[in-house]
Structure 1
């Protein structure tokens, strides 16, 4: 168990280094919207979901309502329902407490790494997930808090284009999920609907969730059609 936790912790380091960079950028910008550094670190440790934190901070900065920001972040985190469901076999046999800890430590990066490694070896399981998750949550919390601490003494960074760090991070994560030609139609559906819904005035967080669900439906339909034709 300890060896697999160590294996997970070491394997996630390259992804953790990338997360630290955009975590630091997030902390910088969060501080300049009025968040104290300690609250940014606390949010990272308790929420541990970079994309929803970014959306929540953006919503808070624009609307100045805590409830709206929290709801927007929660809407974007709906994807974790599918992520947690995919871990049912891996988490089987753990106590409820251990399952909750493992789920809290699960993020996009260590989930993707765990599932990828498990496809190669069934020995990869909860220990690997927890080991990699411990590294990710520590790196994310420290990098965002550090960025926020530095952000309190720096000038307005938006005018230097630092906000694009988030866009670049999401592009990098999306590139890792690209599977070639089978992804073209679902991604086109998702991107097209997201752009259309935002253009029509739907809040960005809800547009992302709705378009993602439509993309998943398109992917399911493609699989069904291909399965029936074989």
Structure 2
């Protein structure tokens, strides 16, 4: 576990920065500091939290915010599936813990290290995951504390931190030209939904589902052709 905990520290440092920014702005749109901390510990998914809070700030629609966040978390179905070999042999309790603390950063690092050495296993994933969820929860909570007492940060242009953090995380999910078509499909569907006047949350849900469908179709077509 120590190996994973130390290996993830550079990525955790970056997550702490946009986690603090997220906490600042979440507090200023009405979220209490304890609510931000609880969300970070229970959800532990930066991109979906950012979208959910932004959606709630714009519309105050709890269901729409939850749907938008859940749509972005659909990618974890594939992430968890890719960890089946890593988690093989563990008890259900440990598996559930490992799945909950798995995020984009420690999953990518674990799979990258495992490709180099088959000795990398669940202890690396859990160690790195515990560091990431701890850093994310503490940084977002600290940001919320600060955001509750600071002046309106929108005046300083810090509202763009939501978008900037999301772009940074989305960039980390880019896997090259092979993933271009699903992204284009998702982007196109989202724009169409917005143009039709539907709530933005539905644009996120529609875009995410259509992107996943496009990705599944491409992979299935490739297997059939092979």
Do the structures match in fold with TM over 0.5?
Answer: yes
Shift, 1:39, TM fit: 1.9
Higher mean Cα deviation, 25-34 or 44-53? 44-53
C-alpha contact (below 8 Å) 2:51/2:68 kept by paired residues: yes
Give the TM-score of the pair, scaled to structure 2. Answer: 0.88
How many residues of Structure 1 are paired with residues of Structure 2 in the alignment?
A: 226
Tell me: CA distance 1:229–1:92, structure 2 relative to 1, closer, same or farther (3 Å): closer
- Partner Cα distance (1:85, 1:206) in 2: 26
- Partner Cα distance (2:193, 2:130) in 1: 37
- Summarize deviations over 1:119-140 as a string: whole Å, max 9, x none: 2222222111111111101100
* Residue of structure 1 equivalent to 2:179: 183
- Summarize deviations over 1:171-193 as a string: whole Å, max 9, x none: 22233333333233222222222
- Partner Cα distance (1:212, 1:147) in 2: 29
Q: 2:128 aligns with which of 132, 141, 147?
A: 132
Pair 1:28-2:17 in alignment: no
* Residue of structure 1 equivalent to 2:137: 141
C-alpha contact (below 8 Å) 2:101/2:129 kept by paired residues: yes
- Partner Cα distance (1:47, 1:183) in 2: 26
Give the TM-score of the pair, scaled to structure 1. Answer: 0.87
Shift, 1:49, TM fit: 1.4
Question: Structure 2, unaligned stretches of length 5 or more?
Answer: none
Higher mean Cα deviation, 35-44 or 53-62? 53-62
Tell me: CA distance 1:6–1:153, structure 2 relative to 1, closer, same or farther (3 Å): same
Tell me: CA distance 1:98–1:185, structure 2 relative to 1, closer, same or farther (3 Å): same
C-alpha contact (below 8 Å) 2:68/2:204 kept by paired residues: no
Calculate the aligned-residue CA RMSD, in Å. Answer: 2.2
Q: 2:206 aligns with which of 174, 196, 210?
A: 210
Tell me: CA distance 1:61–1:223, structure 2 relative to 1, closer, same or farther (3 Å): closer
C-alpha contact (below 8 Å) 1:56/1:70 kept by paired residues: yes
